[in-house]
Structure 1
Amino acid sequence: MKRLPATLTTALMLLSASACADVTSGLTAFFSQRLAGISDDVQVTVKTPPANWPTCEMPEFSLPGNARLWGNLSVQARCDNDKRFLQVTVEANGEYVVASAPVARGSELNDANLRLQRGRLDQLPPRAMLSLDQARQAQTLRDLAPGQTITMSMVRQTWRIKAGQRVMVIASGEGFSVNSEGQALNNAAVAQNARVRMANGQVVSGTVDNDGNILITL
């Protein structure tokens, strides 16, 4: 069997390494954008063999709307009409909520018994709280130990707004802010998502702030 010239072999290896880097860096940028504000350190490992990777230089990546954003995932990579699925592992580091002191069942969570801790978000239990606003004023359903990660299933939320309530919707973007009133369609605590029916019938969704306003970032 005729061997390839050394220069050609080297060139093919460099091209392969370049393609690998492009896909990995593209996926890292894809997840970093979606995890902005949650994680500032995202690392992606592609487990699918390179022979099954997309062939174009800049594939379009997508996930199902309800998909997780870390751990073991299947990502669709599209080059025009060519669709492929890549198996990836996403590691994300960021802050999450833990108990800073022993908390007895039935107690209210507040700044005296909560703190943020930094670590691997992809290794947290399901529905772990990632901001203090999610935990404040919630009532515990079980005893909590110092350093224990707090999840949504461990607490009973105090509703900041209730379905049917009139609420203020604040939509803001670069250089502008617009306020309008609507009717809440669901109960929601601070930092949770709320759906609101506006006067024109349109339904919008946003995040509840400490004052009970619905914040939408455009």
Structure 2
Amino acid sequence: MLVLLCLASAGALAQPVAQPPRQEPSVLRQGAEQFLRVQAAGLPGEVQITVGQIDARTSLPACASPEYFLPNGARAWGKTTVGVRCTVPSPWTIYVSAVVQVQGDYVVTALPVAQGQALGPNDVARVRGDLSALPAGIVTDPSQAVGRTVTMSLQAGTPLRNDVLRSIQAVQQGQTVRIVTAGPGFKVSAEARALNNAAEGQVAQARTASGQVVSGVARAGGVVEVTY
């Protein structure tokens, strides 16, 4: 009888201990994609998100509420990384690679253009592609480029960036300008000398023949408009 009890006890001790549930990687990948879609809301174009695979050897305790975040320096644009962390029941953190592509319109040169040339409607064209693969500051609408000058010569088909475009100066420093002052029931004009460069709509300062410095809005043709 004693032998049977010992054998029964040994059998009970030999039973395997139940393992805690493990985290399903596919759930984390789906969560990372949903997180990136929220982060990418409002981007100018059609967003396509691809989340990388999680190493099959990764074994994590199941998490009731995984928290998704962008690591410092990461953003929902191009090649990126999403962090996933859990606090309970067991703390852990992993990082998942992803790619956020944004298919949208951008502007290129339709013809070769020379440095200093003012762009006209026929000098630019709209094309479609992955905006996330292009340099920062890409021009996405022809109206942002037409009427501005380029700071360098560009070949046909070159994507236009804001940092290579300059607004045409309506007023140039040292230029003789016409001060137009208007108010209720009156409008007068006088000549003055511009003290700064200003594009259309920017603030320009000028000194009159009497030495008075006035400020106004630069208008095409060397006009500084002062309104009261």
Q: TM-score, normalised by structure 2?
A: 0.49
- Residue 34 of structure 2 aligns to a residue in which SS? helix
- 2:122: which partner in 1? 112
- 2:27: which partner in 1? 19
Relative to structure 1, is the Cα distance of residues 110 and 62 closer, same or farther in structure 2, using a 3 angstrom cutoff? farther
What per-residue deviation string (whole Å, max 9, x for no partner) do you get for residues 138-158 of structure 1?
A: 210112222111122322245
Relative to structure 1, is the Cα distance of residues 73 and 155 closer, same or farther in structure 2, using a 3 angstrom cutoff? same
Q: Does 1:132 align with 2:142?
A: yes
- 1:74: which partner in 2? 81
Letter in structure 1 aligned against 2:161: T
Q: Which of 109, 112, 116 matches 1:102?
A: 112
What per-residue deviation string (whole Å, max 9, x for no partner) do you get for residues 21-51 of structure 1?
A: 522431342244142xx12132232365474
- Residue 117 of structure 2 aligns to a residue in which SS? coil
Asked if the contact 1:105/1:142 (under 8 Å) is kept, the reply is: yes
- 2:48: which partner in 1? 42
Among all aligned residue pairs of Structure 1 and Structure 2, give the percentage whose two residues are the same amino acid.
21
Asked if the contact 1:55/1:79 (under 8 Å) is kept, the reply is: yes
Letter in structure 1 aligned against 2:81: S
What per-residue deviation string (whole Å, max 9, x for no partner) do you get for residues 110-144 of structure 1?
A: 32211211011122123322222332322101122
Q: Which runs of 5 or more residues in structure 1 are unaligned?
A: 1-11, 161-186, 191-218
Relative to structure 1, is the Cα distance of residues 23 and 147 closer, same or farther in structure 2, using a 3 angstrom cutoff? same
Relative to structure 1, is the Cα distance of residues 39 and 77 closer, same or farther in structure 2, using a 3 angstrom cutoff? farther
Larger Cα-atom Rg: 2
- 2:212: which partner in 1? none
Distance 2:169 2:68 in 1: 39
- Residue 82 of structure 2 aligns to a residue in which SS? strand
- 1:33: which partner in 2? 41
Relative to structure 1, is the Cα distance of residues 134 and 68 closer, same or farther in structure 2, using a 3 angstrom cutoff? farther
Distance 2:53 2:25 in 1: 15
Asked if the contact 1:102/1:143 (under 8 Å) is kept, the reply is: yes
Distance 1:61 1:144 in 2: 40
Relative to structure 1, is the Cα distance of residues 56 and 44 closer, same or farther in structure 2, using a 3 angstrom cutoff? farther
Distance 1:23 1:188 in 2: 48
- 1:92: which partner in 2? 102
The CA RMSD measured in Å over matched residues stands at 4.0
Quote how far apart the aligned CAs of 1:75 are.
Answer: 3.2
Q: Which runs of 5 or more residues in structure 2 are unaligned?
A: 1-20, 171-197, 202-228
- Residue 33 of structure 1 aligns to a residue in which SS? coil
Relative to structure 1, is the Cα distance of residues 129 and 55 closer, same or farther in structure 2, using a 3 angstrom cutoff? farther
Distance 1:188 1:132 in 2: 19
- Residue 73 of structure 1 aligns to a residue in which SS? strand
Count of residues in correspondence between the two structures: 149
Asked if the contact 1:24/1:44 (under 8 Å) is kept, the reply is: no
